[in-house]
Amino acid sequence: MELDEYLMDISILITGQAGQGIQTVEKMLAGMLGAAGYNVFATKEYMSRVRGGANSTQIRISGERVRACTGRIDILLVLDEGSVNRISVRIKKDTLVIGEFSEGTAGKNERVGLTALAKEIGNPVFANVIASGIILSLLGIKREMPEEYLKKAFGRKGEEIVGQNIKALEKGYENGERILKSNSVPVVRPSGKQDKELFINGTEAVGLGAIAGGCNFVASYPMSPSTGVLTFLAGKQKEHGIIVEQAEDEISAVNMVLGAWYAGARGMVTTSGGGFALMEEGVSLAGMTETPIVIHLGQRPAPATGLPTRMEQADLNLALYAGHGEFPRIIFAPGKIEDAFSLTQKAFNLADKYQIPVFILTDQYFLDSYYNLPDFTGLKTENGKYITETGNVYKRYKFTETGISPRGIPGYGGGLVRVDSDEHDEDGFITEDMGIRKKMVEKRWKKLPLIEKEVLTPEYHGEADFENLVIGWGSTYHVIKEALDTMGDKKTGFLHFRQVYPLGSEIKKYLGRVKKAAVIENNYSGQFADLIKLETGYEAGKIGKYDGLPFYVEDVAEKLTRFFRGG
């Protein structure tokens, strides 16, 4: 591809050490590019360390909506030489490489001593603003807008700081203009329609969904990549009346949240695989006591500590089978940021309605990826009231037609609310009466057919008369969709599941007439493909990735092409 050719989008990658301020550049550039009228997508991959190493952030801009990560890099901005090696396979001959690196690096080299220039202005931190200035000037964005942005951002820190930032921006523009003399950068037309939109990531969407779902209690133990949701809710706790507790461990966290639901709150835990493994006993307690709970499980590569800051979709089975014994559950896996909001909001209501655990299954890539999108005012956010005022004679586990017993809470009404982790009778007293045991098991499972009645149908993209089918779940949504769009393959449809359990019966309609189907997921064994086989008998092909990085659009296109050509 020639750089001066018209592109639908430009992919910019910023790479450097942890602690060099890549996140600052990401935030600043994304904000400025948004203000310049572009649709912006940003995602990061980073090492499990606080300083040093090699981290990178991808920013894609387009006049059209852009929501997926690509392997392609049009402009590579290097803040630290040592960080180039790891992504060198992605540098092509047309990649414009700018910044601090040694001679002989692949691509079109434009070395700029960012740190030295920043020091001239007074502080190495200005390297970030210089870098942003270079990018903005390459994209032909007029200097006034970023100047205003900096004035707003740093105004509180005084005139001197604002002045230094503007000087750094100028340095960036000077260098950008110099680079443009010997290089051409593709033109991407801004959309200009997105300036009123939200620009948030998966983490914030889960947090906002929780607030919309009436969450007023969250207890957790920090664990990447799920901690962001906890921090987000902590930041909103005063505004929205949310109790936020950092528990001593995940076991404590899940039991606190169950206690909170028992007493009338709406609570959630946010954790990752290892932390969730510790919560499993609590999930089983939720199952037995029929106490609602919402669990946000942000996946990362495992076993054990694995790759703490990276992405994988290998905890589906963990969520699916977590907890000893048998009891129903619901598992959502949002693929779009707006779905993370809606599904989390819905999770609180379904947990409350059916008195079961409801999971939001995300992953590092999803949580750390941003894009602009319309605000949520048009989405349904009604919260149901499921708590009953108890009468003087109250049976917490009353046998009913639906298996759902009216749920009372202590202090609301005249009845006593007795819940027990032992098998119990309708009153909540421990029992070893085998007849009651049998009825209680059946009572708990009676809820499943009701839950199945309101399963969210998978989202289908493609022609009605497709031959082949690609199946995805969770965060791969946009990547698969864009890959299929770029392939232009009219024979292949795409079916995406944002609810992975219960699966529902809709899938059978698709599989009944398909020639060839593949499930794409970020794991080795094909956990969702296995679930589909278990539920439908259909054995789909498996396309996996488990190196800790998300699929790129190009990856998926290439793998699908090979798969459907019978390769």
Of the residues 419, 448, 455, 456, which one makes contact with other proteins according to CB under 8 A:
419
How far apart, in whole angstroms, are the C-alpha atoms of residue 393 and residue 406? 13
- Identify the residue among 174, 420, 454, 554 touching other proteins (CB under 8 A): 420
CB of 252 to other proteins, least distance (A): 4
**Least distance in Å: CB of 265 to other proteins?**
4
Residue where the block lists tokens 């296109």: 557
Select from 163, 264, 274, 406 the one that contacts other proteins (CB under 8 A): 264
Closer residue to other proteins, CB minimum distance, 417 or 519: 417
Q: How many CB atoms lie within 10 A of CB 157?
A: 11
Whichever of 212 and 417 has its CB closer to other proteins, that residue is 417
Work out whether the CA dihedral 157, 159, 162, 167 comes out positive or negative. Answer: negative
Q: How many binding residues for other proteins (CB under 8 A)?
A: 41
Write down the least CB distance from residue 409 to other proteins, Å: 8
For other proteins, the binding residues in 273-292 under the rule CB under 8 A are 281-282, 285, 289
Query: Exactly one of 85, 184, 402, 421 binds other proteins (CB under 8 A); which one?
Result: 421
Asked if 251 is part of the footprint of other proteins (rule: CB under 8 A), the reply reads: yes
Interface region with other proteins, contact rule CB under 8 A, candidates 157-165, 239-247, 376-384, 540-548: 239-247
Nearer Cβ to other proteins (102/392): 392
Check residue 498 and report its DSSP letter.
S
Is the separation of the CB atoms in 38 and 190 below 8 Å?
yes
The stretch among 104-112, 165-173, 255-263, 334-342 that binds other proteins (CB under 8 A) is: 255-263
CB 274, min distance to other proteins, A: 16
CA atoms within 13 A on the CB side of 324: 4
448 binds other proteins (CB under 8 A): no
Closest CA to 74 of 56, 94, 98: 94
Distance CA 52, CA 58 (A): 19
Residues in contact with 549: Cβ distance below 8 Å, sequence separation at least 6, in sequence order: 45, 310, 311
Min dist. Cβ of residue 218 to other proteins (A): 11
Cα atoms found within 13 Å of the Cα of residue 124, Cβ hemisphere only: 8
State yes or no: residue 425 binds other proteins (CB under 8 A): no
Q: Phi, psi (5° rounding) for residue 242? A: -110, 130
Q: Binding of other proteins at residue 230 (CB under 8 A)?
A: no
Cβ distance to other proteins smaller for residue 82 or 259: 259
Give the integer Cα–Cα distance in Å for 90 and 100.
18
Nearer to other proteins, 248 or 401 (CB): 248
Q: What is the DSSP string of 78-117?
A: ES-GGGSGGGGGG--TT-EEEES--TT-SSEEEE--HHHH
177 near other proteins, judged by CB under 8 A? no
Which residue's CB is nearer to other proteins, number 154 or number 261? 261
Interface region with other proteins, contact rule CB under 8 A, candidates 258-266, 294-302, 307-315, 535-543: 258-266
Contact call for residue 259 and other proteins (CB under 8 A): yes
Which tokens sit at 530? 């296995």
Q: How many whole angstroms from its chain centre is CA 137? A: 31
Tokens of 33: 């590019």
- The DSSP 8-state label assigned to residue 392 in this structure reads S
Listed in sequence order, the residues at least 6 apart from 506 whose beta carbon sits closer than 8 Å to its beta carbon are 455, 457, 458
Work out how close the CB of 255 gets to other proteins at its nearest, in angstroms, rounded to a whole number. Answer: 4
Please, what is the minimum distance in Å from the beta carbon of residue 62 to other proteins? 46
Positions 101 through 120 that interact with other proteins (CB under 8 A): none
Block residue for tokens 């655990």: 357
Residues facing residue 198 across a β-bridge: 373
Backbone angles phi, psi at 390, to 5 degrees: -80, 145
Task: Output 186 or 282, the one with its CB closest to other proteins.
Answer: 282
Q: Partners of 41 in the beta sheet?
A: 60, 371
Minimum CB distance to other proteins smaller for 417 or for 556 = 417
State phi, psi for 75 to the nearest 5 degrees.
Answer: -125, 125
Q: How far is the CB of 291 from other proteins (least distance, A)?
A: 9
Q: Find the part of the chain contacting other proteins (CB under 8 A) among 9-17, 141-149, 423-431, 512-520.
A: 423-431
Query: For 183, what's the count of Cα atoms within 13 Å in the CB-facing half-sphere?
Result: 25
- Residues 462, 324: contact at Cβ < 8 Å? no
Binding mask 345-384 for other proteins (x = CB under 8 A): ----------------------------------------
Under the criterion CB under 8 A, does residue 462 sit at the interface with other proteins? no
Minimum CB separation of residue 296 from other proteins in Å reads: 17
Q: Which residues pair with 61 in a beta bridge?
A: 10, 40
- Identify which of residues 427 and 467 has a Cβ nearer to other proteins in the complex: 427
Q: How far apart are CA 333 and CA 327, in angstroms?
A: 20
Among 125, 180, 243, 456, which residue interacts with other proteins (rule: CB under 8 A)? 243
Amino acid present at 480: I
Q: List the x/- string, 377-416, binding to other proteins by CB under 8 A.
A: --------------------------------xxx--x-x
Any contact of residue 97 with other proteins (CB under 8 A)?
no
Of residues 10 through 49, those in contact with other proteins by CB under 8 A are none
Q: Is 82 exposed, middle or buried (0-12, 13-18, 19+ CB in 10 A)?
A: middle
Residue 145 CB partners (closer than 8 Å, separation 6+): 32, 35, 36
Please say which residue, 35 or 277, places its beta carbon nearer to other proteins: 277
Interacting residues with other proteins (CB under 8 A) = 216-217, 219, 243, 245, 247-249, 251-253, 255-265, 267, 281-282, 285, 289, 409-411, 414, 416-422, 428-430
